[in-house]
């Protein structure tokens, strides 16, 4: 048996491909993030509508997508839906699953934020003559978003890391490229280590961005 | 220091520590296995007829029988073997990281792999064939230009198709079952893999057919950790015994009888 010798050259050879994969990881994660935020916010707002129907429908969606593994959702969209005649491209399949999964969490986070705003705020705004949408937009949302910001940030970080699962459906993102290289040169530690560092860099960039956004939000007048 | 620069440094430091701390085991795996009282073998679970799982959840196949035979030779009890499911991609990392003692999982012997593992004498010859939907007009590699071809990550066909049909776009999956699903769902026009698995899949799936002429035949070998000559010599001696005592012929008939005319017997 031979001792394991760390091989920098393996990293150097793999680097261009890994960077290319990281590019797709950043791309699919950012698009999924924006869509999951919009969808989550919309569903949270809908769940505040009067009457039980909207609330229950949103709750059903959240339970289904939050209580099943993301990998199963990806496989259902990619392998399962074509059997029902719905054939999304690999990119759209992966994106759809990531968005639906992350948005389920976002919905709960936004809902918690909305419900944390004291009820008196609604009444005060209403008596000031604001309409329902105005109340949501100018009174409730600014406070709710601040409350849920840290939880939201956590979920977005998870989204970046979860995007590695779309490697299973042939999407050539960072995890896929790392598999591809290490399955051929067998420099497992070097290649996955490098990929891990790249994920750290991507997530650090994201958390910085989030911190800047949070700073702006806190500075804005209530 | 910025957090990014700091995290890169931490990762580099970890890498350096791993370099220095890499263990240099002197003992042959054969001793470890005997002391443990059990052989840990990596086998396939998605590769008929070499390694699959039957309806009762039991590992079955040519390679699985070989693993049991090795256990019998070691402990006079063919059940003293733990079967670990591996894929084309992860089997060599599993061996390198000592999660398994031996790979009996349709490993094609290549020069690149020889650099990192110790191979036994060949125990099977396999070329590659093409699996397509029954209605497909594809009959050869030439027809795959401009088509989407499924291959398995870490399998030799990934490179073969790249070289022999550069106009095909490859889509890579981790497991055989996923490639078959992709083919059935129209996500790929063809799936290229070892002849024996393609023939078995065509037999099991009425909506699929095997086409093409077997290309680039290469031998399968059993693999152990690099430099472990004691263990690989033992494996070779056992393989030889299997040939002389008729076990090999029996297994051949059991698993390959109906596709025999397509195969090259070593």
Check pLDDT > 80 for residue B17: no
Q: Do residue B153 and residue A179 have CB atoms under 8 angstroms apart?
A: yes
Instruction: Annotate chain A with DSSP letters as a single string.
Output: --PPPP-HHHHHHHHHHHHHHHHHHHHHHHHHHHHHHHHHHHHHHHTTSSSHHHHHHHHHHHHHHHSS-HHHHHHIIIIIGGGGT----HHHHHHHHHHHHHHHHHHHHHHHHHHHS-HHHHHHHHHTT--HHHIIIIIIHHHHHHHHHHHHHHHHHHHHHHGGGGGGGT--SHHHHHHHHHHHH--HHHHHHHHHHHHHHHHHHHHHHHHHHHHHHHHS--
Minimal CA separation from B72 to chain A, in Å: 25
The pLDDT of B170-199, averaged and rounded, is: 95
How far does CA B120 lie from the centroid of its chain?
14
**Closest in A2, A90, A188 to B226, CB measured:** A2
Minimal CA separation from B120 to chain A, in Å: 16
Check pLDDT > 90 for residue A219: no
Check pLDDT > 70 for residue B3: no
- What is the C-alpha separation between B130 and B149, in angstroms, rounded? 9
- What is the C-alpha separation between A9 and B98, in angstroms, rounded? 24
Token readout for B121 is 């004498």
With beta carbons under 8 A apart, name residues in chain B contacting A196.
11
How far does CA B30 lie from the centroid of its chain?
22
Q: Tell which wins on pLDDT, B16 or B47.
A: B47
Evaluate the CA torsion angle A180, A189, B176, B112 in order and state its sign: positive
With beta carbons under 8 A apart, name residues in chain A contacting B33.
none
Query: Which residue do the tokens 């840290």 mark?
Result: A150
C-beta of residue B239 within 8 angstroms of C-beta of residue B131: no
Provide the greatest CA pair distance for chain A: 80
Chain B CA closest to residue A2 = B24
With beta carbons under 8 A apart, name residues in chain B contacting A205.
4
CA distances, B29 to each of B43, B100, B210 (Å)? 18, 10, 40
Q: What is the pLDDT of residue B21?
A: 46
Domains and CATH numbers, chain B: 25-125+219-262 (3.40.190.10), 127-217 (3.40.190.10)
Check pLDDT > 60 for residue A99: yes
Task: For domain A8-219, give the CATH number.
Answer: 1.10.3720.10
Structure-derived torsion over alpha carbons of residues B4, A188, B191, A74, reported in degrees to the nearest 10: -40
Q: What is the pLDDT of residue B254?
A: 95
Minimal CA separation from A210 to chain B, in Å: 15
pLDDT (tens digit per residue) in B102-149: 999 999 999 999 999 999 999 999 999 999 999 999 999 999 999 999
Q: What is the pLDDT of residue B23?
A: 47
Q: What is the pLDDT of residue B4?
A: 63
pLDDT (tens digit per residue) in A41-66: 999 999 988 889 999 999 999 999 99
- What is the C-alpha separation between A62 and B57, in angstroms, rounded? 34
Check pLDDT > 80 for residue B20: no
What backbone torsions phi and psi does residue B179 show, to the nearest 5 degrees?
-65, -40
Q: Tell which wins on pLDDT, B7 or A215.
A: A215
Continuous segment of H or E residues that includes residue B210: strand B208-225
Q: Do residue A184 and residue B112 have CB atoms under 8 angstroms apart?
A: yes
Token readout for A44 is 């949270």
Interface pTM, i.e. ipTM: 0.78
Q: What is the pLDDT of residue B260?
A: 81
With beta carbons under 8 A apart, name residues in chain A contacting B181.
79
Among A123-132, B8-17, B157-166, the least confident range: B8-17
The pLDDT of B227-231, averaged and rounded, is: 96
C-beta of residue B59 within 8 angstroms of C-beta of residue B83: yes
With beta carbons under 8 A apart, name residues in chain B contacting A83.
185
Q: What is the pLDDT of residue B22?
A: 44
Please state, rounded to an integer, the average pLDDT across all residues of chain B.
Answer: 91
Percent of chain A with pLDDT over 90: 78
Q: Is B122 helix (H, G, I), strand (E, B) or coil?
A: coil
**Closest in A180, A188, A193 to B172, CB measured:** A180
C-beta of residue A67 within 8 angstroms of C-beta of residue A109: no
The pLDDT of B21-45, averaged and rounded, is: 84
The pLDDT of A89-93, averaged and rounded, is: 94
Q: Other CB atoms closer than 10 Å to residue A90's CB: what's the count?
A: 17
Residue spans of the domains in chain A: they are 8-219
pLDDT (tens digit per residue) in B55-76: 999 999 999 999 999 999 999 9
């Amino acid at each position: 048996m031979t001792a394991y010798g760390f091989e920098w050259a393996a990293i150097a050879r793999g680097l261009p491909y890994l960077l290319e994969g990281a590019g797709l990881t950043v791309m699919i994660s950012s698009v999924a993030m924006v869509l999951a935020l919009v969808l989550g916010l919309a569903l949270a707002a809908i769940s505040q509508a009067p009457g039980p129907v909207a609330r229950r429908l949103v709750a059903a969606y959240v339970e289904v997508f939050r209580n099943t593994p993301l990998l199963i959702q990806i496989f259902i969209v990619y392998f399962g839906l074509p059997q029902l005649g719905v054939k999304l491209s690999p990119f759209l399949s992966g994106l759809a699953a990531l968005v639906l999964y992350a948005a389920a969490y976002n919905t709960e986070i936004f809902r918690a934020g909305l419900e944390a705003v004291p009820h008196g705020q609604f009444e005060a705004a209403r008596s000031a003559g604001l309409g329902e949408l105005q109340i949501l937009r100018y009174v409730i949302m600014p406070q709710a978003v601040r409350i849920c910001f840290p939880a939201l940030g956590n979920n977005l970080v998870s989204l970046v890391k979860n995007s590695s699962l779309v490697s299973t459906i042939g999407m050539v993102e960072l995890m896929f490229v790392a598999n591809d290289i290490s399955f051929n040169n067998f420099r497992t530690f070097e290649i996955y280590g490098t990929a891990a560092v790249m994920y750290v860099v991507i997530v650090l960039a994201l958390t910085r961005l989030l911190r800047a956004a949070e700073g702006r939000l806190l500075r804005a007048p209530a | 220091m910025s957090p990014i620069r700091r995290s890169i440094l931490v990762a580099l430091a970890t890498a350096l520590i791993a370099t220095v701390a890499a263990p240099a085991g002197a003992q042959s795996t054969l001793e470890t296995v005997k002391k443990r009282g059990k052989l840990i073998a990596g086998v396939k679970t998605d590769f008929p007829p070499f390694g699959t799982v039957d309806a009762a959840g039991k590992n079955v196949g040519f390679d699985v029988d070989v693993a049991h035979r090795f256990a019998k030779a070691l402990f006079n009890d063919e059940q003293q073997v733990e079967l670990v499911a591996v894929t084309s991609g992860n089997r060599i990392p599993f061996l390198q990281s000592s999660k398994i003692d031996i790979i009996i999982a349709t490993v094609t012997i290549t020069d690149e792999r020889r650099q990192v593992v110790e191979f036994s004498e060949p125990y099977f010859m396999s070329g590659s064939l093409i699996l397509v939907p029954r209605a497909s007009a594809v009959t050869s590699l030439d027809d795959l230009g401009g088509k989407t071809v499924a291959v398995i990550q870490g399998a030799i066909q990934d490179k073969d198709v790249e070289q022999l049909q550069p106009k095909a776009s490859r889509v890579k999956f981790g497991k055989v079952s996923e490639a078959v699903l992709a083919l059935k769902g129209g996500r790929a026009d063809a799936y290229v893999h070892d002849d024996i698995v393609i023939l078995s899949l065509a037999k099991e799936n009425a909506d699929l057919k095997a086409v093409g002429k077997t290309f680039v035949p290469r031998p399968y070998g059993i693999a152990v950790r690099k430099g472990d000559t004691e263990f690989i010599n033992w494996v070779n001696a056992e393989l030889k015994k299997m040939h002389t005592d008729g076990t090999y012929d029996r297994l051949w008939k059991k698993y390959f009888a109906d596709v025999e005319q397509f195969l090259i017997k070593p």
